Amino acid sequence: MSGDGFHVHGPHDHAVEHAAHGSDGFSNNIAVMTAILATVGATFGYLGGATQNDAALFKNNAAIDKTQASNSWNYYQAKSSKQNLAELAMSLPGVDPKKYEADMARYKSEKEDIKKDAEKWEESSKEWNHKSDEAMHEHHQWALATTAEQIAISLAAITLLTRKKWMMGLAYGVAGVGIALGAFAWFHVDPVGQMLAKLGGGAVGH
């Protein structure tokens, strides 16, 4: 099974198919367990792909707003140049200053509006970048959850071949970890990241 929703046949698929045709309860339990894990893993994979697409969309929006901010600042600089020329003209001998006062006042007023507009686009770009970073982090969480479910499926296949009950327990354990990681991603909680951040902060403090 891949993250894009396509199913790639592996050794565990044949083992599960064999288990489905088996008559003993152990094989049937493995078949049911693997089918459930495959469904959960496919769901996690889909959600991971969706958050990755969101991250790309948000990053694109950030780039668009950054371009808008840059254009606004360029326009601001153009108005500043015109204002400076008007100030220079006022200082020339034989020139009536009142002739340029209105132009200077207009350029100053226009610059304030342009500045607010540029700052608005810059702030919007920062917000989109922040959303993109959050979405990409969530994507990584879904990817870890999906990987855990895939490992659990492989362990289930090994359990079927070896018929070791402790191996089944290991498969259940890894599957549980994957489900927990998926729950953390769903509720936007990252205990591992928070723990690492605290450890990093403590190391810096020392």
Give residue-wise pLDDT tens across range 102-159. Answer: 888 889 999 999 999 999 999 999 999 999 999 999 999 999 999 999 999 999 999 9
Hey, what amino acid is at 197? A
Cβ atoms 107, 83 nearer than 8 A: yes
Query: Counting beta carbons within 10 angstroms of the beta carbon of residue 167, is it exposed (0 to 12), middle (13 to 18) or buried (19 or more)?
Result: middle
pTM of the model: 0.77
Hey, what amino acid is at 31? A
Q: Is residue 47 part of a domain?
A: yes
Q: Which pLDDT value is given to residue 118?
A: 97
Q: Is residue 201 part of a domain?
A: no
Q: Tens of pLDDT along the chain (206 residues)?
A: 444 444 445 545 655 565 555 557 888 889 999 999 999 999 999 999 999 999 999 999 999 999 999 999 999 999 999 999 888 888 888 777 777 888 888 899 999 999 999 999 999 999 999 999 999 999 999 999 999 999 999 999 999 899 998 999 999 999 999 999 999 999 988 887 777 777 776 554 54
CA-based diameter of the chain, in Å? 108
Stated length of the chain? 206
Q: Is residue 172 part of a domain?
A: yes
Q: Is residue 203 part of a domain?
A: no
Q: Is residue 196 part of a domain?
A: no
Q: Into how many domains does the chain fold?
A: 1
Cβ atoms 42, 1 nearer than 8 A: yes
175 to each of 9, 150, 157, how far by Cα in Å?
Answer: 20, 8, 13
Percent of the chain with pLDDT over 70: 85
Q: Is residue 73 part of a domain?
A: yes
32 to each of 7, 20, 72, how far by Cα in Å?
Answer: 18, 8, 60
Q: Is residue 204 part of a domain?
A: no
Q: Is residue 20 part of a domain?
A: no
Domain span at 137: 27-187
